[in-house]
Structure formats: structure tokens, C-alpha cells
Chain A
């Protein structure tokens, strides 16, 4: 893109601006082991994560996000945090850890980090489902979308 990709905006931490303007792992994976999509276009954000899983390790990860700056930054950060990790580690990723890694998010943007956590979990669940691997459904409960009033 010929357009400029450097900026500091006091609304967001430098880490958020960095991951928003230079998102890591953007794209799609062909023949992914698992794909997770969470969110709702009506609410204004959707995250989709593709995982390549080999021997229980996430060897590659890509994402696409429709959403605000912090949603894109949270997706980027979450993919960085799980890349190269074993599945059980990826499942331990919390939205809080994403927020911390991003140097904080404004209060009304915390839900973007929740979406990132859920997108990772949804992709792992998809992998388990595809491969007939048993799991505890409680582990994959999605937060409700009721806050959007749509």
C-alpha cells in the first residue's frame, strides 16, 4: 500500500497502533487444520482465524478482521501469542493477556480482546471437531452478543 503507516494516536497505546498499522499474520491459510470465526457484522466486528496444526503445535496462523483499530490489533497480537505454541497453551490464552500485551485498551474496547480469545478457541474447536478429538464443551463457551442490542 502506498499510503502511510505510521501514526501515534493518544487514544491507543503504541503497541495497539503498531499492531493496527502493521498487523502480523494477516491473510488466509489454504488447507488449514482449523478455522474459527466469531463476532457479527451487525455489531461491527468479525474475526476469522486460520490455524495450521502439526503434532499438536500451531505451526502457522493467519487472520482476517472486520472491525475497529483495536479489533485488528487484538487479532494481530493474539496470533503472535499463539504462533509456535502447543494447543493447550493456545487454549490458555485469555483476553486479559491480550490486553496486557497490547499495553492496555480503552474500557469500551475490551470486548475486542474477548473476540480475539474466542476466535482462537473457535479455531481450535474446529480442529478438534474435524479430527474427532474429544473435548470439554465448557471450555468453548462463547460470550453472548447481547450487548449489541441487534
Chain B
């Protein structure tokens, strides 16, 4: 089986798994307890916090452990919105293609508190324009929230430039770095980020654990009230095995990062080159400013769910932005945001690779996928109308993109 859905979740690494099991056996104490068992657990907790802080270039006291990326996003947004409202600021700038943990939280706050939200365009390449962001900020703006890298199309946003603008305009800057942590070299302090969300299971750590980094001076909003854990900002006995395994997974991911990136770029570029040879296919999102393991394509005339099921029957596990895979009736908001029409967005495929994938995996995908697309087109009335000229193709027959050499040099 070839697992190519690492943006959904990753397998826990051996090291993270061993850390998890060891911690559950050894550090079962409650870090809030005074006795030695408790204080040993506390020591391990703070060690993990310091490790994560050093890996992401922030201070240990700026790391707040959460149950994952969604909780971190919720907490970050409420932190900025609540603080803003106290100062009469009721405006938030974000993008059209944020994760739903951000978009739905903001929709909820629009209804609950009457805040105003500006959704920035992400253009056909899936990239925010910093000048448009600068113009969107008003004196009422309490928060700018732009994801570090998109979860579907993998496009990496100009985080450093956005950090500069927000610092200059004195607006809080949150980034959802769930897809970027463990893969890109994040510099929390250097990139002038005020809040950053991450989730362990995206970098071979366990599920149900993540963190919100919050710059010193910004007081996190308490989403979960109770005990005094996490400096009183996030109650609940710490999930210590998961936290220690997350720290181990992040350290491992960043230790091998450069080597892994080169490997992934090689696989990614091969996949894009070979799969866009399929007529009337296209790459979604910028090819250059892109996570090294992300390939997202659209194929005209077919529907993504049936594509996934046939790939699955052939041992290839991937995902799609098709409506039919989501349980909703609309295709992916990300693909619509980059201007793909509904008909094309339904035929999308996301392949997300990790360091565990090999060139053999890529070869197999390149062998199977064109056959699956051809078969589904052969039974598709939509494809037949396109071929007979009854309907007009939306995508060009041949995909074209910038030179590959340039991409490898700058990546």
C-alpha cells in the first residue's frame, strides 16, 4: 500500500511511538502534584516545552499545549478578537482558503459578537499578495490570520513579509502552521509572528496534541477554564505522553529536514512532470512556493471520489477536494478560491508525501493514475461531450509551467 495522504495525517515515527509508550509508563504522574512522581512529570513537561521552543525559535513560556491544531486556531482567534474588542477594534483580515478551524470560528464570531471579516483573495497561484493585505488593514483591525502553508494545495505564504507589515501596523498576526511545522524552517521570533498553531500528527507525532505559540505580552484567551495548567490559560491535566512524543517528533523532523526536503522535491517534481502529461489536467497552486510533499491536480471530465476509490483498489491512498468525498455538496473551498470552476474542482486529486515515500511509490502512482483517469473518462458523459465538441474544455490540453531547474534551485 502506498500512503500518499500525509496532509491528512502521518504515521507516528518509531521514535515518537517509543517516547509515547515510555512516557505513559514512566511519567504517569500529574505535573500539578507536589510529590516526586508529579514533579518528575513536571520536569519532563518543561523539558518538552523548552525543546519545542528552541526548535521553533521562541521562548518556552510562549508555548501553550493544546489538544491540536483546531483548538489552537480557536484560541488564537478568540485571543485577538477579545483583546481587540476591548480597544474598539472589531475587524479581522484573513484569506479565502484558510482551514475551517479559522473560517468557521470567524463566522461564529461574526454572529456572536458582530465582528467584521475581510477575506483576502489568494489568486490563481494560491498566494496572498502582501500589498492587498496591507491595504486591507484598517485602524479597526485586531487580527491578521494567514496560514503558513495551505493544507490542500500546499502553497507557502509570504509569512515574513506579512509579519513585517503587521508589526509596523501594530496588528496581531496569527498563522496556522499546521501543515508547515516539522516541514519548513519556522522562525517564530524572526518572522514576527504573534501566534502560531501547530498539530503533532502532521509531523509523525501523535493525534490529539498540538500547541499554540503566543508571543510574550499577548495574553491568551482562556478557551477551557479550570485548573492553572499552561500558565492558567488552558485548563486540564497535561497529556504528557502525547506532549513528549510531539517534542520528539518535531526534533526528529527538523533534524532530517534538509535531506528530507531534497528527497521530497525530487518525488514531487517527478509526479508533477509525469502526471500533468495526462491531457486536460492541471496543477493547482504555485509550483515554486509549495510544500515539498504536496501535489494537487485537477483532471477534466472525471469526479474525484470515484478516482480515489479506484486508486485505493490499486493500493494508492490519496484524497480529493471533490464534494462527494467531503459529505457536503460543494467542492473544496480552496479550489474554488483559486478560481477553479465547480466542474473542474470536482475532479481534483491531492497526493501528499512524507519522508517514508520512495521513488518506487512515485513510479507506481505514475503507472496507475493515467489508466484510472482514462477508464473513468471512458464511462463519463461529461468527458464525451468535451471530446465531441458538444461542451468546451475549461483546461488547456497541455499543462505548461515554469522551468524545473529554477524551481529546484530556489526550493
Contacts and interface: CB of A to CB of B under 8 A. Distances in A.
Interface residues of B, number: 35
A1 B377 CA distance: 13
A3 B375 contact: yes
Interface stretch (B21-29, B56-64, B238-246, B378-386): B378-386
Contact of B306 (A6, A20, A26): A20
B368 interface: yes
Given A3-B372, A6-B313, A66-B303, A43 B381 contact: no
A133 interface: no
A94 interface: no
Interface in A63-104: 64-69, 71-72
Interface stretch (A44-52, A53-61, A124-132, A134-142): A44-52
Contact of A150 (B303, B342, B381): B342
B329 A41 contact: no
Contact of A44 (B309, B310, B331, B371): B331
Interface residues of A, number: 35
A14 to B, nearest CB: 13
B324 A64 contact: no
B329 A5 contact: no
Given A42-B342, A68-B305, A148-B329, A26 B375 contact: no
Given A37-B381, A43-B329, A44-B323, A67 B303 contact: yes
Given A20-B306, A43-B329, A150-B342, A64 B313 contact: no
What DSSP secondary structure best describes chain B's contact surface? Answer: helix
A139 B331 CA distance: 32
Contacts of A147: 329
A26 B312 contact: no
A4 B314 contact: yes
B306 A69 contact: yes
A90 B117 CA distance: 53
A44 B303 contact: yes
A32 interface: no
A132 B309 CA distance: 43
B370 to A, nearest CB: 10
Given A65-B379, A65-B380, A45 B303 contact: yes
A23 B378 CA distance: 12
A42 B315 CA distance: 29
Given A1-B371, A3-B368, A149-B329, A68 B312 contact: no
B327 A66 contact: no
User: Nearest 3 CB-CB pairs, A to B?
Assistant: A7-B313, A68-B305, A68-B324
11 contacts: A3-B314, A9-B309, A20-B306, A43-B323, A43-B342, A44-B329, A44-B342, A66-B303, A66-B380, A108-B327, A148-B329
